[in-house]
Amino acid sequence: MTWTSIRDETRKSRKPRQCILCEDAIAVGETYVARTGIGDDGRVTVAMHVDCEGRTRDWSIDDWESNDAYEMRGLREEKKSESDYRAG
């Protein structure tokens, strides 16, 4: 895979999307990161949860290629229950 990032934008989702990192849904109205770049198939924009994207800050290309959606989802769930705990 080759990838050249053009830009990242934080947007509010106006339609349901899927996070490329955890493969979970990004709900309508949820804030997400829209990353536009040039990949193997040309120019594309991918959607990621803000939290998921935050975990990729020091990733190398190998980390991207070996991303495990199941693991990402687990980390997201963990964080979610942590904040529920704090709220309660």
Burial group, residue 41, by CB count within 10 angstroms (0-12, 13-18, 19+): exposed
Task: Report the residue closest to Zn ion, judged by CB.
Answer: 19
By CB under 5 A, the count of residues binding Zn ion is: 5
Residue 74 burial (CB count, 10 A)? 12
Task: Tell me the residue length of the chain.
Answer: 88
Q: Which of residues 5-44 bind Zn ion (CB under 5 A)?
A: 19, 21-22
Whole-number minimum distance, CB 75 to Zn ion, in Å?
9
d(CA 23, CA 19): 5
Taking the least distance from each CB to Zn ion, the nearer of 65 and 71 is: 71
Taking the least distance from each CB to Zn ion, the nearer of 22 and 46 is: 22
Residue 46 binds Zn ion, judged by CB under 5 A: no
Taking the least distance from each CB to Zn ion, the nearer of 19 and 46 is: 19
28-31: list long-range contacts, CB under 8 Å, 24+ apart.
none
Residues at the site binding Zn ion, with contacts judged by CB under 5 A: 19, 21-22, 49, 52
